Structures are given as structure tokens and as C-alpha cells.
Amino acid sequence: GAGVSQTPSNKVTEKGKYVELRCDPISGHTALYWYRQSLGQGPEFLIYFQGTGAADDSGLPNDRFFAVRPEGSVSTLKIQRTERGDSAVYLCASSLSSGRGNEQFFGPGTRLTVL
């Protein structure tokens, strides 16, 4: 079956611009997660959704970052006034539900480059 998909795979933008990154989770998965991975580091948690609501957004670095999941399926991560330090690979994952034993399935990521 289809896995987690993310679009675009690559995004190059200029400092100060607005970007949207999209995640399509595995069908039927109620939990959805966003992570950011910088070169040479592990994924860093940003936010997770259980259904339509953000259950934990404690990892969002500042108010330029926002994520939505209006229908409990597709999610969009939105970054306003991008900065060079936002350059990273943004990973999305989904799982059947949130829970300490549930496997998270990861998408291929979106590589964001801010010039």
C-alpha cells in the first residue's frame, strides 16, 4: 500500500518568503507527526496531531511555524518569513494512533533551502 508522501521533495526559497510543506499520511492513521532534521543530526520533534487537533506543539521553534490538519488526514506545515536557519529536511510521519509502542512510518522528507 501507499506510504507517507510529502510534497514537494525539494523547495528552494528566498529569505523572508512564505512556504508550505504538505504531508499525506497512510490512510487510516489518526496520528501525524512533523520533525525537522539538520545535517548530521537526528530528527527533532516539532508537532503532532491526534485527529484534527494538535496534541503537542511544544517543538515548534517560534511563531513563524504553524501546522494544520483540518480534516484529520493531510497536514500542512507553514513557515512564515523564512530564515536561512530554517534550512533542513522536514520529515512527516504517521501512526495508527499515538502511543508509546506504536510504530511511526516516515515519509521521504522535504528538503527546504532558504537562500
Partner 1 sequence: GDSVTQMEGPVTLSEEAFLTINCTYTATGYPSLFWYVQYPGEGLQLLLKATKADDKGSNKGFEATYRKETTSFHLEKGSVQVSDSAVYFCALIENTNAGKSTFGDGTTLTVKP
Map residues 13-52 to x or -, x wherever contact with partner 1 holds by CB under 8 A. Answer: ------------------x-x-x----xxxxxx--x-x--
What the block records as the C-alpha cell of 35 is: 520533525
Q: Which one, 39 or 70, has the nearer CB to partner 1?
A: 39
Cα(32)–Cα(96) distance, rounded to whole angstroms? 9
Task: Tell me if 101 contacts partner 1 by CB under 8 A.
Answer: yes
Q: Which one, 66 or 106, has the nearer CB to partner 1?
A: 106
Q: Which one, 35 or 65, has the nearer CB to partner 1?
A: 35
What is the DSSP pairing of strand 53-56 with strand 31-37? Answer: unpaired
Cα(88)–Cα(12) distance, rounded to whole angstroms? 11
Task: Tell me if 91 contacts partner 1 by CB under 8 A.
Answer: yes
* Single-letter residue type at 112: L
